[in-house]
Amino acid sequence: MSRYKRYPLVEEISIHNIITFFYKEMARDFNTMGEKHDFWEFVYVDKGNVEIYTDSYQAKLSQGDITFYKPNEFHAGRADNNTAPNLFIVSFDCNSPSMEFFNSKTFRVDKEEQMLLSKLRAEGNAAFDPPADSPQMSRPNKDKNAPFASEQLIKNYLEILLISFIRKGVKIRDYGNLSHINEDNKDAELTARVIRYMKENVSENLTVEQICENFAVSRAALMKTFKEVTGLGLKEYFNKQKIEQAKKLIREENLNFTEVADQLAYSGLHYFSRCFKKETGMSPSEYSRSMRARG
């Protein structure tokens, strides 16, 4: 018999099953009929605005807000202020008494929790086929090429996220959106400023030279820093921002495809359609139909 006594670790929050795992780009007129089910669910608003209704309350959520639905609680939602929201939705089983903390709770997440949400979403994209942010995602299905222990990391990140909320008593803070960049060092701070500049000028045809001139940084230095922090090149990141804005405009349905292309400074509809399909795997019209079908 071993002379070393084992100390059993207590698990206050333990999750072994997930039911849904979505990152959804919704149409501006999305409106759910409502449902209830015997498991927990959270909805995080990454972009846009939504209005939710439950058995006990209703609330308007904006970018950076999260809400939890307890088991067997009726809930419904719709787009608010004519926006086309992006929602991160995860449902799961958890029988811990500590989950009572989340009953009828809607709040804004802080920097640490945003980082956990980002990691959770990224791991879901890697673990499942189709990935969490694919329009084809309906239920989690293991990707045969998933990285080692990806499902365990999903479990860990989700448990840590819940523990973080409970520990902090959910202090209200505003730290931006899910794609927040850690700004603890000089390189990350510069990268965050560049990203902000790109988003503010997404309707322009920015060049790498213009960006470097605006921040008084050499091309080689900025490209190296940006790549190290984001994993992407400057032009690649900017092009992705353009497509994200195009998707939002298409879902809002105020402009036709030619007008969307013009607003985002593409040279023509054909070139815009080619860029859009390269990034999303769908043509603008296919994307629009998929959003209407989802709505």
The whole-number average pLDDT for the span 234-246 is 92
pLDDT for the residue numbered 170: 41
Bridge partners (DSSP) of residue 24 are 87
Separation CA 189–CA 198 (nearest Å): 14
Sign of the Cα pseudo-torsion (178, 179, 183, 184, in order): positive
Question: What pLDDT, on the 0 to 100 scale, is given for residue 184?
Answer: 44
Q: What is the mean pLDDT of residues 59-85?
A: 90
Percentage of the chain lying above the pLDDT 70 cut = 93
Helix, strand, coil percentages, rounded to 5, for the chain: 40, 15, 40
- Every domain of the chain with CATH number 2.60.120.280 lies at 18-168
pLDDT at 253: 86
Per the CB < 8 A criterion, the answer to whether 205 and 241 are in contact is no
Q: Is a pLDDT exceeding 60 seen at residue 176?
A: no
pLDDT at 46 (0 to 100): 92
Higher pLDDT, 271 or 105: 271
- For the cut 90, the answer to whether the pLDDT of residue 108 exceeds it is no
Q: Where in the chain is the domain with CATH 1.10.10.60?
A: 186-294
18-168 maps to CATH 1.10.390.10: no
- Asked which of 69-73, 106-110, 150-154, 238-242 is least confident by mean pLDDT, the reply is 106-110
| Model pLDDT, residue 185 | 58
pLDDT of residue 1: 67
DSSP notation for 108-134: E--HHHHHHHHHHHHHHHHHBSS-TTS
The mean pLDDT of 42-69, rounded to a whole number, is 90
CA quadruple 129, 68, 173, 118: dihedral, nearest 10: -10
Confidence (pLDDT) at 276? 93
Q: Report whether pLDDT(295) > 70.
A: no
Of 35-44, 91-100, 277-286, which range is least confident? 277-286
Q: What SS3 state is found at 105?
A: coil
Of residues 171 and 281, more confidence is placed in 281
**pLDDT for position 290:** 83
Least confident window among 37-46, 89-98, 168-177? 168-177
Q: Kindly tell me if the per-residue pLDDT of 144 is higher than 70.
A: yes
Express as a percent the part of the chain with pLDDT over 90: 57
Q: What is the mean pLDDT of the chain?
A: 87
DSSP string of 178-197, one letter each residue: TTPPP-SSHHHHHHHHHHHH
Confidence at 175, pLDDT banded by 50, 70, 90: very low
3-class DSSP state of 76: strand
Q: How far apart are CA 14 and CA 94, in angstroms?
A: 6
pLDDT of residue 280: 87
- CATH number (1.10.10.60, 1.10.3720.10, 1.10.486.10, 2.70.70.10) of 186-294 reads 1.10.10.60
